[in-house]
Amino acid sequence: MRPGDPGPSRDRGNSVAARAVPRAPGESQPRAPEITPTRFRPTLHPGAWWLWAISLGVAATRTTNPLLLALLLAASGYVVATHRSPAPWARSYTAFVRLALAVLLIRVLFAVALGSPIPGTHTLLTLPEVPLPHWAQGIRLGGRVTAEAVLFAAYDGLKLATLLVCVGAANALASPTRLLKSLPGALYETGVAVVVALTFAPHLIADVRRLRAARRLRGRPDRGLRGLLQVGLPVLEGALERSVALAAAMEARGYGRTAEVPARVRRTTAALTLGGLLGVCAGTYGLLTAEGGTYGLPVLLAGVLAALAGLRLGGRRSPRTRYRPDPWGAHAWLVTGSGAAVAALLTLASVRDPGALHPGVVPLVAPTLPLWPAAAVLLALLPAFAVPREPS
């Protein structure tokens, strides 16, 4: 394209492209550019990435096999590497990986320093043991450290680390502003509060940097307790003034107003929402424990359905429209289905072959890679190849 030629301008949904028209015979001036609308592929719904990541996290809770957990980490990391955007919020994946490594290290250090109930015969080292009073029975500081106890702690810590990395993948793939825009009407006030908080945080950081730079230029201290007070008070004052101005602007534009609904609808909404949340908590507890494997999934599904019904009814109090809502298309179903398939298949494998998904440490044996659960984990890679990359 030559300098001065009109280039294509596009947004997220529709775009307009300018195309030069050749000069007709006898015309002294060229024709104006012909404007033709161009349709671009819609971006993936952010809720699909969150459902995919949560499903991988559920799959991680069903096993302590380090080989399967490593496959989950590799699959989520590859999808993030292929579909992560250059936006600032997409850089959170590295922070979650570091947090996961810290959790794994802390879990192993706790097992070494505080002991473990896992019996073992392979002694790695013996630490000086600190005597504790009789009321602290069951707790040990120091003493003998066995390979079985360290390996059990590493398996347990790796499971929690994988869960954190899956959450980090969702944060890196899904835009938080688009996700908040897609919230149902019942959570409208919560979404507005989160958006305001996300908007104010950069302003607070900029105010702190500006005031610290101004104090340094004036030769005044900007560190320590005195510097913190001298910087914190103006920042707090500016934040309060900005909050009052924003509240007045939102009040003038009609934010916070709700529609009138019958009392029976409000009571039904409260009952469905509260019952659904209790069902989700009970079902999640059942899935995370070995004793609740039979009732965990039905209770969780019933709680989710009740909570969704409550949110649907609660949305009548906040009638609103969305500007350019994110479509839930075939790619969103594909991403969600791939994650749900991994969670369902690993849950089934944990019931049918618990020994393969939970390798023992007493006696000390090397973990093996079960074939069909490993193939199920590879389904998590489907979004990397079937979903187009979003435009940056």
- What's the pLDDT tens digit per position in 138-174? 677 777 788 888 898 899 999 999 999 998 898 888 8
301: left (phi over 0), alpha (psi -120 to 50) or beta: alpha
Spatial contact of 359 and 368, defined as CB atoms under 8 Å apart: yes
pLDDT at 106: 93
- The Cα 366–Cα 360 span in angstroms is 9
Tell me, yes or no, if the pTM score tops 0.85: no
Distances (CA, A) of 56 to 60, 225, 293, 298, 347: 6, 45, 18, 19, 11
pLDDT at 25: 53
pLDDT at 15: 43
Locate tokens 């794994």: which residue?
104
pLDDT at 97: 92
pLDDT at 37: 43
DSSP assignment letter at 116: -
* Residues contacting 201, CB < 8 A, separation 6+: none
- Burial class from Cβ neighbours inside 10 Å (0-12, 13-18, 19+) for residue 329 reads middle
> Which stretches of the chain drop beneath a pLDDT of 50?
1-21, 27, 32-42
Helix (H, G, I), strand (E, B) or coil at 175: coil
DSSP assignment letter at 378: G
pLDDT at 143: 76
Tally the C-alpha atoms within 13 A of residue 9's C-alpha that lie toward its C-beta: 4
pLDDT at 357: 87
Locate tokens 């435009």: which residue?
391
pLDDT at 335: 92
The amino acid at residue 272 is: L
Peptide bond into 363 cis (omega under 30): yes
Q: How far apart are the first and last CA of the chain?
A: 21
pLDDT at 57: 92
